[in-house]
Amino acid sequence: MKTPFSVLSAVCLSAVFLFIGCKPKPNGTEPGGSTEDATIAYVTNGVDPFWDLCAAGVRIAEKEFNIKCEVHMPTKGVVDQKRIMEGLLAKGVAGIAVSPVDAENQTPFLNEVAQNSKLITQDADAPDSKRIAYIGTNNYKAGRALGKLVKDALPEGGEVIIFVGRLEQLNARQRRQGVIDELLGKPTQELGSVKFDAVDAKNLTAEGSKYTILDTRTDNFDKAKAKSNAEDAITKYENLKCMVGLFAYNPPACIDAIKEANKAGAIKVCGFDEQDALLQAIKEGHAQGTISQQPWEYGYESVKMLKNILNGTMPEKKFLEVPFLVVTKDNVEEFWKKKKEMAELGKQ
C-alpha cells in the first residue's frame, strides 16, 4: 500500500509539472515576429576542439545580431543528439542549426524537428530532409585544393598515402576523392554527384599523372592508431614522398612519425584543419600546408541565417558555401593568431 507521504509527493510533483506545462512557450516566435527574446540552438555532432572554434563564431554572431544561442555538443552519437534536440524542442527554441551525425537515417527525425522549429544543417547536410538550408564547406573542392598543396610539395611527382579517421562520413569521402582527382588529373566533379573510388583502392594512378596514391588507411579516431598507421606506412613504402591527413589529428600524427623515423624533409605532409602541431610544422617547413574550413564561420553564418529566417527572410539558395582557407608558410602566423583568439573565445 502506498504511504500517505508518497501519495502527497506524487500530487505535488504532478502539480509542478502541470504548472510548468501550462507556462506559455518562453522562446517560440511567430514568423515575422520579434526575435528580441528568441533563443536558437547550435548542435554539433560530437565533442571536439573543432566545435569550440565554431562556438567562437556563434558568440560573435550572438552579439552582432542580438540573439541568444545555446551551443550543445552531444557526446555519444545519434542517440545523444536526438535526446538533446528533443529537449530543445520541448523548451521551444525558435531555430536549430545542426550537424547531423547520420543524415540519411535521421531524416524522419529531422523532418519532425523542421515541423516544430526552424531547422538548418551545418557542417554535414541532410539533403533529403525538410531543412531550410545547409551551411558548409565544399569538401570536394577543399580536397582538390589539398591535392594542389601535394603538387606544390612534390612537383616531380611521387608516391602519396592518405590517412583519415573513418571513410563512412560523406565529408571524408569527398575530401579524399578531391585529392585523388586533383593528383590524377581527373576532371572536376559536381559536389552533389561525386563518384568515389573504392575505399580500399590501392596504387591509384592515371596515364599522364606523376602521382600514385598508394592506399587510404583509417584509424577510427584513435590517435595512437593514427600514429602507428603512419609509422607502418614509413616501413612499408620505401619511396613514400607525401602523407596526406584528412582529419585534424592525422597530420600531427604523421609529423611525429616522420620526425621519429628521421625522415623530416624526405616525406612531406599536407593536412586538413588547424591543430597547433600542424601549424607549428608548417611554420618550421616540415609540413607543406593545410586547408582550414575556418570553423568560426560555421557558427557565425548559422546564427546569422537563423536570425534572418526568424525575421522572415528566407535564404536564396539551399547551400551556403563557407570558403576554406589554404594555409601555407606565407600566412600561417596570421592564421594561427586568429585561431588562438577564436579558441579563447569559444571556451567561454
Partner 1 sequence: MKKNTLGIFGLLIAIFVVTAVLNDKFISAYNMQNLIKWSSLYAVMSIGVAFVIITGGIDLSIGSVVGLVAVVLAYMMKVKGINPSAAIITTICMSGLIGLVHGLLITKAKIQPFVVTLCGLLIYRSLSRWLTDNQSLGPVPLEGDKGYTNLEFINQLDFIFSGKIAIGSFNLPTPFLFLLVIGITAALFLNRTIWGRYLFALGNNEDGARYSGINTDNMKIIAYVICSLMAGIAGLLFAFELDSVQPAQTGEFYELYAIAAAVLGGCSLRGGEGSILGVIIAAAVIRLIYNSINMLGISTHLEFGILGIVILLGVVADEFLKSYSAKRAAAKQQEP
Q: Which of 303, 301, 296, 293 is nearest to 323 (CA)?
A: 293
Interface residues for partner 1 in 274-293 (CB under 8 A)?
275-277, 280, 283-284
Query: Smaller CB distance to partner 1: residue 100 or 252?
Result: 252
301 binds partner 1 (CB under 8 A): no
Q: Select from 159, 182, 219, 273 the one that contacts partner 1 (CB under 8 A).
A: 219
The pattern of x and - marking residues 30 through 69 that bind partner 1 according to CB under 8 A reads ----------------xxxx--x-----------------
- Report the C-alpha gap between 249 and 254 in whole angstroms: 9
Residues of span 237-276 touching partner 1 by CB under 8 A:
238, 249, 252-253, 256, 260-261, 275-276
Provide, rounded to whole angstroms, the least separation between the CB of residue 236 and partner 1.
Answer: 6
Indicate whether 298 belongs to the interface with partner 1 (CB under 8 A).
no
For 228, residues 6+ apart whose C-beta sits below 8 A from its C-beta are none
According to the binding rule CB under 8 A, does residue 169 interact with partner 1? no
233 binds partner 1, rule: CB under 8 A? yes
**Least distance (Å) from partner 1 to the CB of residue 152?**
23
96-112 b/e with 16+ CB inside 10 Å = b?
Answer: bbbbbbebeebbebbbb
**Is residue 42 helix, strand or coil?**
strand
Binding segment for partner 1 (CB under 8 A), chosen from 1-9, 78-86, 137-145, 214-222, is 214-222
Q: How far apart are CA 59 and CA 295, in angstroms?
A: 13
Helix (H) or strand (E) holding 10: helix 4-22
Nearer to partner 1, 25 or 202 (CB): 202
Binding-residue total with partner 1 (CB under 8 A)? 44
Q: Per DSSP, what are the bridge partners of residue 87? A: none
Of 171, 98, 162, 97, which Cα lies nearest the Cα of 138? 171
Among 231, 264, 319, 321, binds partner 1 (CB under 8 A): 231
Q: Does 179 bind partner 1 (CB under 8 A)?
A: no
**What is the dihedral sign for C-alpha 182, 184, 189, 193?**
negative
Give the full edge-to-edge strand order of the sheet including 95-98: 68-72, 39-43, 95-98, 118-122, 134-136, 319-321
Residues near partner 1 (CB under 8 A): 46-49, 52, 73, 75, 167, 199-200, 202, 215, 217-219, 221-225, 227-229, 231-236, 238, 249, 252-253, 256, 260-261, 275-277, 280, 283-284, 343, 347
